[in-house]
Amino acid sequence: MATAATASATAATRFTRLAGVGLRRTARLPTAVRFQRRVLATTALLRTAELRPKEQGLPETLDYRVFLVDGGGRKVSPWHDVPLRAGDGVFHFVVEIPKESSAKMEVATDESFTPIKQDTKKGNLRYYPYNINWNYGLFPQTWEDPTLANTDVEGAFGDNDPVDVVEIGERRANIGDVLKVKPLAALAMIDEGELDWKIVAISLDDPKASLVNDVDDVEKHFPGTLTAIRDWFRDYKIPDGICSEGHRRNQRIMGEIGEKEYPCWRALTSLILSMRSHQILLVIYLSMLFS
């Protein structure tokens, strides 16, 4: 087992050094990443245009799940299998919460294939106190490392989740949709002491997509939107007695975020794949020993 631990740590270190960051052994790893049955190594072969959401159970129940399936009907993970980059400065965005809805949906990081489910608190389904006004979700293959302090944002540590995205286009998307988006700006939210990036983006199929390329364009063509987003995420927890603090950044920060968060995800999954291979060998050995 010492050999397995050494190989796992080596695999993680190799990728984190490329990013100039460190993954501590004491990091809290999402359960689904620790025990994911499989992580595709062929995301480049995944045809994102063929991906579609598939519901299981009834909405607004504890058993409701939205899986992502490929053209052959096979389940894939919206977090691990969908590639982050779509080429030429474009990224893939997975919708968790459609605009003008209040059910707090999120990727289930502790379940196989990481389907989207409604979040719970003390066994009860969670809702925002009012509708969110934009499509909300995540950038796949990103992870905000809880052991990595960001010196640009008060030294705050990551929140142990994928990077969040707020898509400001006019169309109301569906849970599980995979859209191609263009990042425009970034809001660094300090949420209960943790860094929680909100990347403001627009879908390429939106009528105004060609008009906006940075934070100034957003102010011009979507006046008041950045302030509204900051205020929405700052204020929605106030009924629970919790406040968040927001810092607005320009679009160029997305390149820096991508350079940090994607390698963190790669290090995380590489560590798990190494651990899984040693676990499989151990199971085979034990089977032979006791057969």
Q: Which of 128, 130, 136, 262 is catalytic?
A: 128
Question: CA-to-CA distance for 133 and 231, rounded, in angstroms?
Answer: 12
Question: CA-to-CA distance for 93 and 82, rounded, in angstroms?
Answer: 9
Q: Which helix (H) or strand (E) holds 132?
A: strand 127-132
Alpha-carbon distance values, 2 to 8, 22, 143, 275 (Å): 10, 21, 27, 11
The token pair at 214 is: 């940075």
Are the CB atoms for 59 and 68 separated by under 8 Å? no
b/e string for 9-46 if b means 16 or more Cβ within 10 A? Answer: eebbeebbeebebebeeebebbebbeebeebbeebeeb
| 262 noted as active-site residue | no
Strand, coil or helix: what is 119? coil
The token pair at 197 is: 């990036």
Pairing of strands 156-158, 194-203: parallel
Amino acid identity of 121? Answer: K
H helix intervals, the chain: 2-19, 31-35, 215-221, 225-235, 253-290
Pairing of strands 156-158, 120-121: unpaired
Question: CA-to-CA distance for 111 and 57, rounded, in angstroms?
Answer: 16
Catalytic positions are 128
